[in-house]
Structures are given as C-alpha cells and as structure tokens.
Structure 1
Amino acid sequence: MEGKTHAIGGICLGIATQSYYITQSMDAPETIVYYGACLLGSLLPDICHPGSWTGRRARVLSKGISRFFGHRTITHSILFILLIYWLTSTFSFQYDELVQTGLLVGIVSHLLLDAMTVRGIQLFYPITIRVRFPMYMKTASKAEGIVSSILVLSALFLIYKQLFA
C-alpha cells in the first residue's frame, strides 16, 4: 500500500478505536497527540523501506534495517508490535498512554493493509511464512484507490456518529 492509504487507514482505525474503546473524552491537546501518534504509527513500519515517507526521514536507520532484515519482515510483525509496546511502556509523561495507544493502533492498521497486498507480510517473523488476505491487490492499483475511498467514507461515518449520536 502507498503511504497515503496507510495514513488514511491509521486515522480511520484511530477513530474507530476512540469510538469503541477509549472511554474517557479527550480535550484538544489529547486529541492532537492521539491522532498524531496514530498517523506516525501508520507510517512507521515502512522504516524498512528507504524510499518510503518514513525511510526518507530516517535514511540511515532505514537503510540499516533494510539491509539487515529486508522489507516487510521484522517491522511488519508481531515482534515489532511488542517492541514498540515495550519501548513506549518506558515513557513517563503527560500523554504517554495516548502516544502508546495511537502508535500501536497505527501500526496494526499498517499491517492489516499490507496483508491485503500481493506480497503480504511476515507477521510471525523470524518465521518466514507470509500472511495475506485471501482477496489481495497490487500496491498503487485501482483496487487500492477503492480501499482508500472506503476508509475515508468509514472515517467520515464514524466522525458523524461520534458527533451526532
């Protein structure tokens, strides 16, 4: 999937998570932190690809991860989710739980979307089994455009539901 689809997916899953699982209301700074973390998390797994949005901003780290692990391996796995959970558990500041939740929600959205592609992901890395949905698509295809549109419409529906329910 392309970066824009991942960004939309991260925000959409963030809205769904807030709608159904985050029980306390968030003020403006909390909302910005949470959705910022969702957005960052949705792009973070592609740090293994030097040409990605994240890879271009952390080029040295991206090239190292790419050379050592390859694309869609460790950063597209349960191991990565656990690593980010552990790292963010060491945070101690005002919005630490919102950052942790947002990052994890964004990462999960990324993995779900990449599991919908022809190549799939190595969800159980270091085990080399590739995981993908039975119905899959090529990156940057018309089908991806349809998925992006569905995600935007879903996000708008969830926002409408939050505001007027």
Structure 2
Amino acid sequence: MQLYIQAETTQDRALMIRSLHYLDLAVEAYRHAFGKDDPEVAYALTSYADVERKLNPENPSFSADEAYSEAYRINRARYGPRAIITLAGLVRIGELRSLPSRSRGDPAKIEAARAMLLEAFNGATRGSGWNAEDVRNDADAALRKLDGPDARQRELH
C-alpha cells in the first residue's frame, strides 16, 4: 500500500504501474488473511481501482469496475447503504459508468449513472462524519460533468 501512496503523492506514472501488481497481490493477501468480505479487502480493491483510473482516466481496465463493485458490496453489507464509505463507493461506480467508454452514449446507462451519483450526493448531504463533505463534493462534481457547465445548483432530496 505504501508504494501506491508514494505513486499517488508524486504522480509518478511508472511507479503507479508497478504498484498495480502489488495492489493486486495485496487484495489476494487480505482475502486470505481477513476473509473475502472484510473491509480491508474493500480498501485494497478501491486502492487498486483508483490507480487504474489514474492511469487511464477515460477508459480504465474493466478490472476497475469489478474492484469498485466488489468493494461497494463489501462496505454496503458491513456498514449499510447510507454509510459514508458505502456512498463513496457509489460515487466511484457512478463516475466510471458515466464515462463514454462505459455508457457508449446510451441514455439509459447515463441516467443509471446519474441516479447513483444523486443517491450518493443526497445520502452524503444527510450524513456526517468520515468525509461526508468530500463524498458530497465528488458526487456533485461528477453530476456537473454529466450535466454540463451550466448545471444549476443541486437540489437536496
């Protein structure tokens, strides 16, 4: 994990590429050590997918989708659907699914991604604690990207 943190801090692409291998090994090691549904596994999966996204922001490997989805499932089962950490995962999935490389311009796929992002935004608005404001801001930024620069102020539900 430290290699990933160093790569993230320095934005060193070569280091990020190398860290993917070790993050993949970390996921398997965490599954073995803690069990497949442990939050540490979710953290490792999210770290792996985050690096994939940084390396290929417009078209990350589909392993990023799988990693985010599995991490979301683990966190939702452990902490519940309204927990900030769960909502943070929903933002990441919504961001990925809204990419043109994923939605392929399909209005239904874009709307499904928007619904995820709105769910995360609204949930984080009602939430507090661990990074609620960051999750809310990330969801809002992703929604603005989908809706365009003239998007009006987000309404809370």
Q: Do both share a fold (TM > 0.5)?
A: no
Choose between structure 1 and 2 for higher RCO, CA contacts under 8 A separated by at least 6 residues: 1
TM-score by length of 1: 0.29
Higher helix fraction: Structure 1 or Structure 2?
A: 2
Return the TM-score normalized by structure 2.
0.30
